[in-house]
């Protein structure tokens, strides 16, 4: 049974940093498509960053508004996906969800998975990020 568990959320002032972690059990994270999404109150779930591996290694995709501030990465030894979030803004406030797929495809980009959420089979329960102004 696959489980996806996020952690690392919290309350931070604007300009601060947080690192979200997503621990996966029952599935090896190395080389599989994974992503981070977020949902603010009253809004639809939004893609934030996704990653997939091709012959050149892990290829990330980022939402324009987080480029240069957020970094997605994974530690295969710890079976964990991370999202380092710097220079946080109040508009980053949301519940952040981690997603994973057990279907490898080296021909698809991280962006493909971010634009096709249905490709992700497993989702976590989310972790709250609140950025105060």
- 94-128 pLDDT tens trace: 999 999 999 988 888 888 999 999 999 999 999 99
**Mean pLDDT confidence for 2-14:** 98
Residues 6 or more apart from 56 whose CB is under 8 A from it? Answer: none
8 A C-beta contact, residue 111 and residue 52: no
Each residue's pLDDT tens digit, 15-64: 999 999 999 999 999 989 999 999 999 999 999 999 999 888 899 999 99
SS3 state at 114: helix
Angstrom distance (rounded) from CA 34 to CA 47 = 12
8 A C-beta contact, residue 99 and residue 117: yes
pLDDT greater than 90 at residue 130: yes
């Amino acid at each position: 049974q696959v489980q996806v568990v996020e952690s690392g959320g919290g309350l931070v002032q604007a300009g601060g940093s947080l690192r979200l972690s997503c621990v996966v059990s029952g599935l090896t994270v190395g080389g599989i498509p994974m992503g981070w999404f977020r949902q603010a109150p009253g809004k639809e779930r939004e893609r934030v960053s996704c990653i997939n591996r091709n012959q050149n290694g892990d290829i990330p995709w980022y939402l324009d508004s987080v480029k240069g501030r957020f970094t997605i990465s994974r530690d295969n030894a710890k079976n964990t996906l991370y999202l380092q979030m710097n220079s946080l803004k109040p508009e980053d406030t949301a519940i952040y969800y981690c997603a994973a797929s057990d279907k490898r495809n080296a021909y698809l980009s991280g962006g493909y998975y971010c634009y096709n959420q249905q490709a992700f089979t497993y989702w976590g329960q989310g972790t709250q990020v609140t950025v105060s102004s």
